[in-house]
Structure 1
Amino acid sequence: MKIGIIGTRGIPNNYGGFEQFAEYLAEGLVKRGIEVTVYNSHNHPFQEQVWRGVDIVHCYDPEDKYGTIGQFIYDLNCIIDSRKRNFDIILQLGYTSSTVWGWLLPFRKSIVTTNMDGLEWVRTKYSKPVRKFLKFAEYLATKFSNHWISDSIGIQEYLEKEYKLQSVYIPYGAFAFENPDVSALEKYQLSPFQYNMLIARLEPENNIETILDGVVESKIDKPFLVVGKHETSFGRYLKDKFKDYPHIQFIGGIFDINVLNNLRYYSNLYFHGHSAGGTNPSLLEAMASGALICAHQNTFNGAILEKDAFYFKESGEVSAALQNVQKSEHLTKTEANVEKIRKIYSWEIIIEQYLNHFLEIYKKDKVLHNA
């Protein structure tokens, strides 16, 4: 099989969740004998044509010049290029800026399967007109694809209810963190289990402001790390609001997975405020690193963490957790979450599930064409 992956800024990961996913999946499929091509932005730091056996196609991406509109142009360029190639299957990751061009996908020679991501139109960072467009883009994704993938049971149930759409459930994955190294804390002048943290894009629906309000209310002055790119309007707002609290440290984005794993492992409490749906990559990675998690209470987080976490909805609950919870007293929760990663969310298991999905739809397509 020849598989093309579109919908990311490219690999190796230099941006976020879908890029990390594409990196692990593509490499894992190549190791299993599958021919894989990933589309990269022409601005991507990796400029070679092959990465660990994965073919790379660079397409023009003017996002740095035109902002969001540039994403639409980049996705269009990727789809146009895919028409020139003989992919058996095209895996489309997300729909935000690609499904308006869905009618151009090469359906006559390729099977298209789409990972539907989370409920993008729910995200409060977007204006009402943008959210209306994203709902329409979601609808287009249900039309311009042959098959669909949901990365959470909640999304699968939503697609069934909203569109009568049958999708296969394949969650995101993670690698269990095996070798903590306390020296990783030296750069940040931290002591083991004497700080708390969160990792997220600084966006309203990630409940970062609620978490930081709780940090202030707790009156606990241990370092609190905010990891994520903060040179955005909301990031600047947060930095200004909490500028009088030096223990709240905005340290920017970190993309070295080993550093992230160590920071999570040695934290006392790790806060996960995501609320927009899906099996969030950063949640599984926090579980895999042995972090003690305090998560926003919603269906998506609860389905993954179950009883093996603390939960919050209001800043007062964040404050109470900070005042009362010590990681050393709740190691059964962290151990249970690491075991879930090994048995359910291991990348090896997830890659096999994707491979089985590809084989199934490939065989089904061959049967239809030979009938």
Structure 2
Amino acid sequence: MLDRKIAIIGTRGIPNSYGGFEKFAEILSTRLASKGYEICVSCERPEDNHTPPSFNGVELFYFPMKPPNFFLLRIVYEFLYDAYSLFKAARRADIVYMLGYSAAMFFFIPKLFGKQLWVNPDGMEWKRPKFNPFIRWLLKVSEKLAVFWADEMIVDSKEIKKYMDSKYGIESEFIAYGALDVPPIPWEDNKLTDDLRGKITLNPHYWLMVARLEPENNIHTIIKGYLQSSVEMPLVVVGNFGSPAYEKHVKAIVDEGPDKKIIFTGGIYNKEILNMIRQNCFAYLHGHSVGGTNPSLVEIMKMETVILAHNNEFNREVCRDYALYFNDADDLSHKMEIIDSERETFLDLAEKAYERVSKDYSWEGVADDYENLIKGV
């Protein structure tokens, strides 16, 4: 083992069965472990109480309590979970790498043990419209505290780096997110779960969106644009709603619109099924508007499909000129109609997006960058 032990905390845990930060923690931790580093990762306690001590060479430690199902209790739970993880990580690791900063008031804990604290802010959390004004103010304060306590602020977006460095007069570290190569997965209906079989088919093809169903990901905008358009292929929406209120708002848009086929699948965590659906879509709609490099965007670039993304600096940084962009529902509707009738003319963009992500967003390069940062401590 190499001489520095690293703890990666702030996610629900590994192996990943939830989202982007969990996938990041899984891939980075296992790659660093394969290089000889001693790595530990914090995990929520599973419902079945099955708590394996390690995963692919990575040590795991668990919060004593199971997560609650009630939304408000979940917020309190995550706060306590992060504080517990900071304490446990500071006792057993030399470098504590915190993903997110909502528990920034506890970021002094590693300092009590003389340990390094690295923080990945994820994005401009305080910009997310799902939060009320008080929560957004707290997140701004947390961002300042994170910068104050962190030995390294690590960002996965050059646009976030510009923001952090100019606002706080620091020199943050840019290390991109990665995307894996995925072998072609031929379409087979019997691979789909029972509730999806017959709903998603290749005849006709379908438009696809994969996201947490939250306001900042423009789910409502995409559905409005789809309903306003003349395209006839179904729209498949993969992901879970972040709140009952937003789900009610989106479903009302669907109910008030024309009778078009929109398929809400919920979250799909089986990698083979999800990648089969992504590889075989007609085109991909990406509405994320807040944050840095979005994992689902770099992953879909690996699928060599046509991408229609929300027009903002984060998405343009990742896709450059190799995607189409929309500003609002009317613009999206128009762009969808163009792709619907002229898709073949945009396939070269899909190929160039694949070349870009393979070159600049490889996990091998990401792991090497982190190893260089560790060696520099």
The two structures have a TM-score, normalised by structure 2, of 0.90
CA distances 1:47-74 after superposition (whole Å, capped 9, x unpaired)? 2011111100011346416220111111
Is 1:337 matched with 2:353?
yes
| Counterpart pick for 2:137 among 128, 132, 139 | 132
2:27 matched residue in structure 1: 24
Q: Structure 1: 5+ residue runs without aligned partners?
A: 362-371
2:227 matched residue in structure 1: 216
| Counterpart pick for 2:175 among 170, 174, 194 | 170
1:369 matched residue in structure 2: none
- What CA distance in whole angstroms lies between the structure 1 residues aligned with 2:149 and 2:242? 35
1:359 matched residue in structure 2: 375
Is 1:207 matched with 2:218?
yes
- What CA distance in whole angstroms lies between the structure 2 residues aligned with 1:164 and 1:63? 38
Q: Which amino acid aligns with 2:52?
A: E
| Counterpart pick for 1:111 among 116, 136, 139 | 116
CA distances 1:97-124 after superposition (whole Å, capped 9, x unpaired)? x211111224543211111210000000
- What CA distance in whole angstroms lies between the structure 1 residues aligned with 2:46 and 2:182? 31
Is 1:10 matched with 2:22?
no
2:63 matched residue in structure 1: 59
Aligned residues: 359
CA distances 1:129-152 after superposition (whole Å, capped 9, x unpaired)? 110001111111001111110110
For residues 115-264 of structure 1, the aligned pairs below 5 Å read 115-183=120-188, 187=197, 188-191=199-202, 194-230=205-241, 232-233=243-244, 234-243=246-255, 245-264=259-278
Is 1:300 matched with 2:314?
yes
Q: Which amino acid aligns with 1:333?
A: L
The two structures have a TM-score, normalised by structure 1, of 0.92
- What CA distance in whole angstroms lies between the structure 1 residues aligned with 2:112 and 2:177? 26
- What CA distance in whole angstroms lies between the structure 1 residues aligned with 2:343 and 2:96? 44
Distance 1:239 1:109, change over 3 A: same
Distance 1:246 1:61, change over 3 A: farther
CA shift, 1:200, in A, is 0.9
Q: Which amino acid aligns with 1:336?
A: K
CA shift, 1:241, in A, is 2.5
Mapped contact 1:176–1:341 kept (Cα < 8 A): no
Mapped contact 1:196–1:267 kept (Cα < 8 A): yes
Q: Which amino acid aligns with 2:9?
A: I
1:349 matched residue in structure 2: 365
CA shift, 1:277, in A, is 2.2
Distance 1:202 1:33, change over 3 A: same
CA distances 1:255-301 after superposition (whole Å, capped 9, x unpaired)? 12222222122111111100002011111111112221100001111
Mapped contact 1:92–1:115 kept (Cα < 8 A): yes
Q: Which amino acid aligns with 1:56?
A: L
| Counterpart pick for 1:70 among 67, 73, 77 | 77
Q: Compute the RMSD of aligned alpha carbons.
A: 1.8
Q: Which 4+ runs in 1 deviate beyond 6 A?
A: none
- What CA distance in whole angstroms lies between the structure 2 residues aligned with 1:168 and 1:250? 38
- What CA distance in whole angstroms lies between the structure 1 residues aligned with 2:15 and 2:338? 40
For residues 76-95 of structure 1, the aligned pairs below 5 Å read 76-85=83-92, 87-95=93-101
Query: SS at 1:9's partner residue?
Result: coil
CA distances 1:75-94 after superposition (whole Å, capped 9, x unpaired)? 11112222332x12111111
CA shift, 1:349, in A, is 1.1
- What CA distance in whole angstroms lies between the structure 2 residues aligned with 1:108 and 1:211? 48
- What CA distance in whole angstroms lies between the structure 1 residues aligned with 2:218 and 2:356? 25
